[in-house]
Structure 1
Amino acid sequence: MINKLRWKPVIGAAVLLLLAASILAYFFFFKTLHIQVNGMITDGNIELQAKDVRLKKIKSGTKSSIKSKDYFTIYQLSSTSLSRHYGTLTVTVRKLENNDMFVFTKFQNETTRPSTIDFSLSFKKPFTNYTVTRFHSEKIKHEHDSTLGVDPTSTPHGLVELKGDNAYANMVISKNYNSVPFVKQYSDTRKSQLRELIKETDETKITGQGQRIVIHMPHVAKRQSLSESWFLYSSQPLFQNMENFKEWEKHTLKEYKKINKWYTADGPFGKLPWSIEPSTKFGYGRYFALVHDRRYADHYEKTKERYFYDFILNSVANLLNYGAQLGKPIPTEITSTWLKNNYGITAPYYDTRFNEYIAIYLKRISKLFNIPEYQDIALFYADYLLDQMEKKNYIQTENGYIICDFYGNTQKKKTHASLNHSLGEMNFLLESYLETKKEAYLTAALHIKAGIEDIGDRWIKDNKDLWYQLNPDLTFHGTDYPLLTLEDLLKAQKNLEKVGVGRSLVFDRFITSKTQYLVNHNIEMTKAVITSLEEGGFGDLVKNYKNVSDY
C-alpha cells in the first residue's frame, strides 16, 4: 500500500506534464495564428499598417509593361515582443494606363501553425454605402473531367459598387487560394514546377464602420504554405451596362474551367491534368492556354466595357512576366508524365499549340490597342516552325511533312503530331505569309498541307469523327476535340483561298465528316461554328440544328 501511495504523485506529475505538453503543442502547431493587417486604398496605391505585429519592408521595386506598371513591396511579418518570424507578405499594385489598378497579395506562412492574415481594406475616399453583385458560384457543377479530374475553383466573390458624397468606385474581389509549391528538380537548370491547391475559400465580408466602408479579405494559410488573393479597383464603373455583366457571368459559370480565377502577380494558375510531375490530383500551374485570356478580348470587342479592357491589359502584363522570353518560343514549365514516359520529355519543353495561342493573342492585342511591335513579335512562332523543319522534327509523308507537337532537349524520339496542331501551324504560316510575303512561310505551310492530304481519308474514323493524332509509325490514336479541329479546318479553307491556292478537297471531306459526327451524336456546337459552316457552304449539314450555344 505504501509503494502505491508513493507512485501517485509521480503519476499525477506525469499527467500534468503531458497535459501541459498537449496544450503547448496545440498553441504551437494547431491553433490558428491571427495576424491583423490594415490597408488604406487610394486611387493609385495601397498603404499598409499592422496591429500587434511588426511589418518591416524588406524589398520593393517596379516593372514596366505595355500600358501598365507594377509596384511591388515585400514585407516581413514578425512578433513585436518575441523573436518570432511569421512569414512574408508581398503586395503588387499593377497600375493600368486608365488609372485602374489590380492588387495582388501573397502571404507566405513560414510557421508550423495554420495562420490567417486578417486583411482589412478601407478607403481614403468617403464611401458611405455599397452594393455587391455576386457571381453565383453555387450554380457551378464541379463534375469529374476525364483529363483534369475535379476542379474545385470557382468564380470571384463579386462586383462591389462603392458610393459616397462625390465619391465612387467599382471593385472585383477574388476568392482566396491556399497552396503549396511543388517542384521536381532534374538538374541545376531543369525543373518542373506547379502548385498543389489546398483550398479555395470565400470569407470576404464588407462592413460599414461609421462613415467608413471596410472590406475584410482573410488570407488563410495552412502551415508553411502560400495564401493569395487579388482585387481590381476602379474609380469608374467597370460595366456601363449590367446586362453585359450578366452575360459574362453566364459565360464564366458555363466555362469556369477555361476562364481564369486564381490570378497572381506572376500570372494565372489553372487546373492541370493528373498526368503531371510532381504528382498530385489538385495540381495547378501557369500554362499558356490560359495566360492569354482570349475570352475577355472576345467580350471586349462586342461590348467595349472597361472590365474586359482591364483584364486584357493584365494578361499582357502576365505575358511580359516571362521577360526576355517574349519574342521567342516560351517553354512549358510543367512535366507531363505522358510525354515523359512515351518520349523522355521533361520540363522545360516546347508545346507548339501553346506558343501558337500566345502568338495569335499578340497579333490580336496589336490590332485592338494599336501596338505595332506586337505584330512583329508574334512572328517568333512562324520562325519557330521553320526551325522545327530545319531540325527535321516532323513526320515525313510522300509529298510533305507534319511537324511534331512537342520538342524538348531530353526527348529520346519524335512525338506524335495531332491534326489540330498541324492545321493551326499551317494557318499561322499562311497568315504570316500574307502579312510579310516571306516565301519561306508559304512554302512551309504548303508542305504541312501536303502532309495532311497525303494521309487523306485515313484521318476519318468509322464513326465519322476524326483521329486526334498521327504517330511517327503512321498509326492513329486519340479522341478529337469536339469543335477545335473543325474550327481550324474552316479557317484553313479561308486562308488557302486568300493566298490563291484554293480550297482543299480533302479538308472539305474532313469538315463534312466531322460535322455529320457532331450532328449524329447531338453534340453542342457554338453559334460561331454554325456561322462558319454556313459561310463555307456546309449550311445544309446543320440546317435546323438545335443544340447550339453562345460559347
Structure 2
Amino acid sequence: MSKRLIVVFFLLLLLQPYPFVWSAEQVSALSKQPIKTVVTDRFETGVVLTKKVLLPNGDLYWMKRLEFTSDHREPYTFSIPLSGSNGTFRYVERLPAGNRWATIPVDTKLPQPSGFLQTNQMSMLLNASNFYIKNVQGTFEQQPNPLPINVIRTLDGYKIHVHFPQKKNSIAEIWGLESKESLVDWSSTPDLEAIWLAIDLQEHSKWSWDGYYVRSPQTYTPYSPNMFWRLPANYAAHSFIITGGSRAADDLGWVMLDTILPNQNREGYWETLPRSEWLWKDYGIGAGFFDTRFNTDIATLLLKGYRRYGDRHFYQAAEKYSYYLLAHIDHHHYTNYGESEGWLPADYSWKQPHKKTHVSLNHHLHEMNFLYEMYLETKQEFYKEMADKLLYGVKNTKSMWIKPNHDLHYAYLPNGKMGLQDYPFLTYNDLVESQSLFVKIYGRMDPDLAELMANKKQWMDQTGVKGYRFFPL
C-alpha cells in the first residue's frame, strides 16, 4: 500500500465515527436492539454467572456458568421451568450408521444431548452438555458428567433438573433459548432438518460463555483428546446468518456475533491463543498469532450480520479489523509484476519478530473478497485499490497455481515456489465469490479468475468432488 493510502485510511479511522449516512431502515433497526444483562452470584462452593438477552421479538436467550471453587459430595442442581403440556424433546441421535433426528415425550428423564423442547405453550432450545476444566491459552478440557437430567410434572407444566458434580476448579455451563412461538418450523421446508443436523454444538464444537470452541488439533499446545480451543471464526453462526430459515437461527446469529465482540484485541484482530507447533517450528510464530483465514471469516460474517440486524457494533468491529488487515498486508507481502503490480500477503503474523509465512490461495482470495465487500459497503476507494492489488497478485502468477492434473497448488512458499495440497473445494468456492464480486463491481468477468475456476472444476469433476458452489451465484 502506498504511504498516501495508509494516511488516508488512518485519518478516516480517527476522524469519521461512521463511514456513511444511516438509512431510515438502519436507524429503525438500531432502536430495536436486544437488551443484555449479566449478574454474578455466590453460592457455597463457588460462583454462578447469569447472562440474559431479551431479543426484540420477545424471545429470551440465557446462559448459566457455574465456577466451582471447592468440592462437595452432593451435586449442584439447576432447575428450568417449562410451561404447558404435551411436551416433546427433539434431539440428534448419534448412531454408528449416522446421525438422525429423534423425538420423544418429555417424561421422567431426558437424554444428555442438546435439543428442542416443545409444549403447547412454549418452545425451548436447551443445551446442558458443558462440564469442563478451564485450561490456559483459550482452551478447556471436557469432563464426563454421569448425572441424569430429571423431569418432574408441575401444576402448570414441567420442571427440568440438570445436575452437575461439584468439583474444585471445574466449570459447568447450561444455556437455553426460549420463545412463545416455535423456534423452528420443521414443516416449512425439508432442508431445515439437514441444516440443523449439520450444526454441531456438542460433539466437535461447543458454544460457551465467551465464544465458539472446537476440538484442539494435535499440532496445538496445549493439547489433550478432550480439549477444545476458542476459534476466532464461528461456523454455527455462519449457518444461522447465511442460511437462516428459522426464528432460532435469527436469535442465535445475533447472540453469537455479539458474544465474540469483546474477543477482538486492541489491534483489531482475534488471536489464535494456543501455539501451533508447525508455525513455531517453520516460522517462529508462537501463541496468540494472527490467522488471516479465521479472522477474515468472522469479519466477513460481522459485515453480513450488520446488514441483517442493523447493529452498528458489528460494522465497527469489521471496520476495525479491515484497518488491521490493510496494515498486515502492507507489512507482510510478496510483490510480483505483470500488467500491474500485484501483492501476495502472508497467511500469518505475530506480535514478535518471525519469518514471513507462505501465502495460501484460499486465504488470499478471502482477504481480497472482504476488501471488495468493504468497498461495496462504504464506497471508499482505498479498499478497492488494495483488493485490486491482491487480484493482480493472483493474475500475475496464474499459470504457477495450476498443476498438470488441473488441481491448484495450495500455497506460494517463501522460497518463491508453489506447493502443498489444496482443499477439495474451499478454494474453488472462494474463486466463485471473487468472480461474483468482480462482476458486481466491474460489470464483467475476470478471465484469469475464470481460468483458475475452470481448471479447479475440471479436477473436481474428474475426482468426484461434490458440494462446491456454482457460478453465477
* Same fold by TM-score greater than 0.5: yes
Q: Is it true that 1:231 corresponds to 2:149 in the alignment?
A: no
TM-fit CA distance, 1:201: 6.6
Q: Is it true that 1:169 corresponds to 2:122 in the alignment?
A: yes
1:147-162 alignment, distance < 5 Å: 156-162=113-119
Residue 397 of structure 2: SS of its match in structure 1? helix
Per-residue CA distance 1:337-387 (angstroms, 9 max, x = gap): 221222222232222222212221122122222345644552334322321
How far apart, CA to CA, are the structure 1 residues paired with 2:285 and 2:171?
A: 29
Residue aligning to 2:287: 347
Q: Is it true that 1:217 corresponds to 2:174 in the alignment?
A: no
Q: Is it true that 1:440 corresponds to 2:387 in the alignment?
A: no
Q: Is it true that 1:405 corresponds to 2:351 in the alignment?
A: no
Residue aligning to 1:110: 69
Structure 1's 155 and 98: CA in aligned 2 closer, same or farther, altered over 3 A? farther
Structure 1's 222 and 139: CA in aligned 2 closer, same or farther, altered over 3 A? farther
Residue 428 of structure 1: SS of its match in structure 2? helix
TM-fit CA distance, 1:246: 6.1
Residue 57 of structure 2: SS of its match in structure 1? coil
Moved more, 350-359 or 248-257: 248-257
Which of structures 1 and 2 has the bigger CA Rg? 1
* Contact 2:329/2:346 (8 A) holds in 1: no
* Contact 2:261/2:317 (8 A) holds in 1: no
How far apart, CA to CA, are the structure 1 residues paired with 2:330 and 2:357?
A: 16
Residue aligning to 1:334: 274
Per-residue CA distance 1:172-192 (angstroms, 9 max, x = gap): 111422211221xxxxxxxx2
Residue aligning to 1:319: 260
Per-residue CA distance 1:146-189 (angstroms, 9 max, x = gap): xxxxxxxx9953211233xxxx1111111422211221xxxxxx
Residue aligning to 2:210: 266
1:461 is aligned, of 403, 410, 423, to 403
* Contact 2:186/2:193 (8 A) holds in 1: no
Amino acid at match of 1:270: V
Moved more, 203-212 or 64-73: 64-73
Instruction: Give the total of aligned pairs.
Output: 430
* Contact 1:260/1:293 (8 A) holds in 2: no
* Contact 1:175/1:202 (8 A) holds in 2: no
Amino acid at match of 2:141: E
Amino acid at match of 2:417: T
Residue 78 of structure 2: SS of its match in structure 1? strand
Q: Which runs of 4+ in 1 moved over 6 A?
A: 257-260
Amino acid at match of 2:439: E
Amino acid at match of 1:385: L
* Contact 1:75/1:88 (8 A) holds in 2: yes
How far apart, CA to CA, are the structure 2 residues paired with 1:436 and 1:229?
A: 40
Residue 212 of structure 2: SS of its match in structure 1? coil
Residue aligning to 2:104: none
Residue 217 of structure 1: SS of its match in structure 2? strand
Residue aligning to 1:298: 242
1:196 is aligned, of 141, 157, 168, to 141
Structure 1's 299 and 457: CA in aligned 2 closer, same or farther, altered over 3 A? same
Residue aligning to 1:250: 194
Residue aligning to 1:69: 35
Per-residue CA distance 1:93-132 (angstroms, 9 max, x = gap): 2222222222212222333567632222235x5x344222
Amino acid at match of 1:286: R
How far apart, CA to CA, are the structure 2 residues paired with 1:385 and 1:509?
A: 28
2:220 is aligned, of 276, 293, 298, to 276
TM-fit CA distance, 1:408: 0.8
* Contact 1:87/1:108 (8 A) holds in 2: yes
1:361 is aligned, of 280, 293, 301, to 301
1:180 is aligned, of 122, 130, 133, to 133
TM-score normalised to structure 1 length: 0.70
* Contact 1:115/1:223 (8 A) holds in 2: no
TM-fit CA distance, 1:221: 5.5
* Contact 2:205/2:228 (8 A) holds in 1: no
Per-residue CA distance 1:502-542 (angstroms, 9 max, x = gap): 5333322211111111111112224xx13x2xx38xxxxxx
Moved more, 415-424 or 502-511: 502-511
TM-fit CA distance, 1:418: 0.7
Residue 119 of structure 2: SS of its match in structure 1? strand
Per-residue CA distance 1:61-99 (angstroms, 9 max, x = gap): xxx998233323333332xxxxxxx23232222222222
* Contact 2:210/2:260 (8 A) holds in 1: no
How far apart, CA to CA, are the structure 1 residues paired with 2:452 and 2:290?
A: 28
Residue aligning to 2:14: none
Q: Is it true that 1:483 corresponds to 2:428 in the alignment?
A: no
Residue aligning to 1:396: 335
Amino acid at match of 1:343: Y
How far apart, CA to CA, are the structure 2 residues paired with 1:380 and 1:408?
A: 18
What is the identity percentage for the equivalent residue pairs of Structure 1 and Structure 2? 23
* Contact 2:264/2:270 (8 A) holds in 1: no
1:375-394 alignment, distance < 5 Å: 375=315, 377-391=317-331, 393-394=332-333
Structure 2: 5+ residue stretches without partners: 1-29, 100-110
Moved more, 446-455 or 500-509: 500-509
* Contact 2:70/2:168 (8 A) holds in 1: yes
Residue aligning to 2:435: 493
Structure 1's 131 and 389: CA in aligned 2 closer, same or farther, altered over 3 A? closer
TM-fit CA distance, 1:215: 0.8
How far apart, CA to CA, are the structure 2 residues paired with 1:159 and 1:500?
A: 46
Structure 1's 276 and 91: CA in aligned 2 closer, same or farther, altered over 3 A? same
Structure 1's 472 and 128: CA in aligned 2 closer, same or farther, altered over 3 A? same
Structure 1's 258 and 103: CA in aligned 2 closer, same or farther, altered over 3 A? closer
Structure 1: 5+ residue stretches without partners: 1-63, 79-85, 143-153, 184-191, 537-551
Per-residue CA distance 1:299-332 (angstroms, 9 max, x = gap): 32xx3x211111112113212333775x932323
How far apart, CA to CA, are the structure 1 residues paired with 2:436 and 2:153?
A: 58
How far apart, CA to CA, are the structure 2 residues paired with 1:324 and 1:415?
A: 22
